[in-house]
Structure 1
Amino acid sequence: MEAKYKGIDVSKWQGDINWEKVRASGVEFAMLRAGFGRCQGQNDTSFERNYREAKKNGILVGAYHYSYAKTVSDAEKEAEYFLSLISGKSFEFPVAFDIEDNSQKNLSREEISNIVEAFCGRTEKAGYFVSVYANLWWLNNKISDRVKERYDIWLAQWADTPSYGGKYGMWQYTSSGKTGGITGNTDMDLAFKDYPNIMRANGLNGFSKGAAESTDNVKSGAFPPRRSVALCNTPLFSSAYSKAPSARKSGTYYIYDGIEINGRYRITSSASFALKKPIGKNVTGFVNADDIR
């Protein structure tokens, strides 16, 4: 399979991340730990900052929850807690259920599968695209085929080439990667699906349905949000797919969200408007990437 995006997954254990440097190192997406367990106070203390700063620097994001659930009831409570942590946010990548804790290892395959289904079912019902994170041993020994066929899989196998025989959308291939902006080792990932298009086209993970005019050619761009753009009689388009410009603009504008759609970027008239909703109120229009100076 050919990787479409390269990324990392992080939590509070990576400390205060310099997301500008992460972006400059070529990272395109980040899976952020939102929390663990089912009780208030088990939020990842870096989640809010990581979400804000990753988005600010044009990095596509997903979120994950580390599970300690031993029963279906525990899993349902974990799902409710996770949903409270991610409420009001938008994720271009999946929200994932991380099941791997040693305290769960003695549970049967059926018990583990029921736990996964309980968490994922509740989260999916709330409008999210859910993935299941597990390592090779767990996938082969603890998770049923019905679960692996039903849900997207985020495979953890630290190897040059994965040996897992099933389907998967993401692969965590090392825990000892290095990237700018993070001190120490980092989990590194590859994504093989065009998740941002899936979310926008289907109105999942906090996006309204059809948030992009088309499901083609949407990617994390080279220009981060709030970057200044000098325009000089530059063609301005009303959408990413308009054939003719609606106007021409001169002066200083700013990249709105850092997302490249069909070779164009949204711009806004003030850096303070970048990433603000609603889009229609805060975006001036689209300009071609080739016209950005």
Structure 2
Amino acid sequence: MKSWIKAAALLAVTALAACGGGPTRQVVTDISIGSGQSVQGGFVGGAVPLLGDTAPHVWTSGHPYNHQVHGVDVSRYQGNVNWHQARGAGISFAFIKATEGGDHSDPMFRRYWAETRAAGIPRGAYHFYYFCRSGAEQAAWFMANVPRERGALPPVIDLEWNHQSRNCRYKPSAEEVRREVNIMMSMLHQYYGQRPIIYTTVDFYRDTGVRSVNAEFWLRSVADHPRVTYPGQRWSFWQYTGTGTAPGFTGNVDLNAFAGNRAQWNGWLSARMQR
């Protein structure tokens, strides 16, 4: 690395560390390093992980790296992952795909579930919701595949439109979506002792009124800050890119930020992890 790039990188890291990672401050510190990737900020004393993006976005309303706590969500497409390396680089949590619909399970779930635990990364399981199955059927399938385990994060229901898939062309009404999701939420809450988190996308959120469901939210917003994309909506997690890079991963991985600072993250973990 050339000396002027080193100096710029040091300045970026210093600025980011000084800002404290508050969610309303913007620190844009992308430094191009070739091969279509960039280093955003840096890993400073466990506060900010060393992450990148193969298709970096120019953030104008709030940069993801204003947030101190970052993590990933994964499925079988990530292949082999070095979770110890990921944790050492500052990855603070992982959401792992477990199930889909009422009869599909991710073939990498059990492996990732064991490996993240061994690496000391807090992790939870997520279910990809399928409109040709009832909420009760999907809850039962998830419970059959995801253990009730001490220290796990709350379960997640992934809600996004998928009615154009070859297996299920059904697009339910907003009322049916909310009714069936509430059934699934209640069943999972009773079984795991944790109120599930809802992951959703901009169009699904807009079309279904799912914001009225009693849940914490994990929001996908890859073109702007969630406060712009989902005005007035409280959230715990923000998925800010699907083309991210992180130590321990050989290809792209979804990257996410937690809403609060490091101390708030520790408090959230203490309150949410299954006992």
Which TM-score bucket, shorter chain as reference?
0.5 to 0.7
How far apart are the structure 1 equivalents of 2:170 and 2:236? 24
The TM-score with structure 1 as length reference comes to 0.62
1:183 corresponds to:
250
Contact 1:60 1:92 in 2 (8 A): yes
How many Å apart are 1:78 and its aligned residue? 0.7
Matches within 5 A, 1:131-210: 131-147=197-213, 150-162=214-226, 163-165=229-231, 166-192=233-259, 194=264, 197-198=267-268, 200-201=270-271, 206-207=274-275
Seen in structure 2, the aligned counterparts of structure 1 residues 161 and 146 have a Cα distance that, compared at 3 Å, is closer
The DSSP-based 3-state class of the residue aligned with 2:240 is strand
Higher helix share: 2
Cα displacement string for residues 193-247 of structure 1 (whole angstroms, at most 9, x for unaligned residues) = 546645644xx6531xxxxxxxxxxxxxxxxxxxxxxxxxxxxxxxxxxxxxxxx
Unaligned runs of 5+ residues in structure 2 are 1-21, 24-66, 164-168
Inter-CA distance 88–130: structure 2 relative to 1 (3 Å threshold): closer
For 1:145 and 1:88, the matched residues in 2 are separated by 27
* Equivalent residue in structure 1 for 2:130, among 27, 52, 68: 68
CA distance in 1, matches of 2:234, 2:274: 26
Aligned to 1:100: 160
Cα 1:101–1:138, aligned 2, differ >3 Å: closer, same or farther?
closer
**Could you tell me how far 1:7 is from its partner in structure 2?**
0.3
- Residue 175 of structure 1 aligns to a residue whose secondary structure is strand
**How many Å separate the matches in 1 of 2:114 and 2:141?**
20
Matched, 1:25 2:89: yes
Change (3 A) 1:70 1:139: same
After superposition, the C-alpha distances for 1:37-66 in whole angstroms (9 at most, x for unaligned) are 112xx2211111111111111111111001
Q: Contact 2:69 / 2:265 at 8 angstroms: preserved in 1?
A: no
Corresponding letter in the other structure for 1:45: P
Q: Distance in 1 between matches of 2:146 and 2:187?
A: 14
Q: Which structure has the greater CA radius of gyration? A: 1
Please name the residue that 2:187 is paired with: 122
User: 1:34 is paired with a residue of what secondary structure?
Assistant: strand
Where do residues 47-58 of structure 1 align in structure 2 (5 Å cutoff)? 47-58=109-120
Contact 2:154/2:274 (8 A) holds in 1: no
**CA distance in structure 1 between the aligned counterparts of 2:69 and 2:153, rounded to whole angstroms:** 11
Contact 2:131 2:172 in 1 (8 A): no
Where does residue 242 of structure 1 map in the other structure? Answer: none
Matched residue, 1:285? none
Q: CA deviation at 1:5?
A: 2.2
2:38 aligns with none
- Percent of paired sites with the same residue: 28
In 2: Cα distance, 1:37 partner to 1:195 partner: 31
Contact map agreement 1:93 1:196 (CA 8 A) in 2: no
2:102 corresponds to: 38
Provide the C-alpha distance between the structure 1 equivalents of 2:148 and 2:208, rounded to a whole number of angstroms: 33
Q: Alignment length, in residue pairs?
A: 199
Tell me which protein shows more strand as a share of its residues.
1
Q: CA RMSD in A?
A: 2.1
> Is this contact kept in 1: 2:246–2:253, CA < 8 A?
yes
| Structure 1 segment 210-221 matched on structure 2, within 5 A | none
Higher RCO structure (Cα 8 Å, ≥6 apart) = 2
Q: What is the rounded CA distance, in whole Å, between the counterparts of 1:92 and 1:6 in structure 2?
A: 17
Q: Which runs of 5+ in 1 are unaligned?
A: 208-293
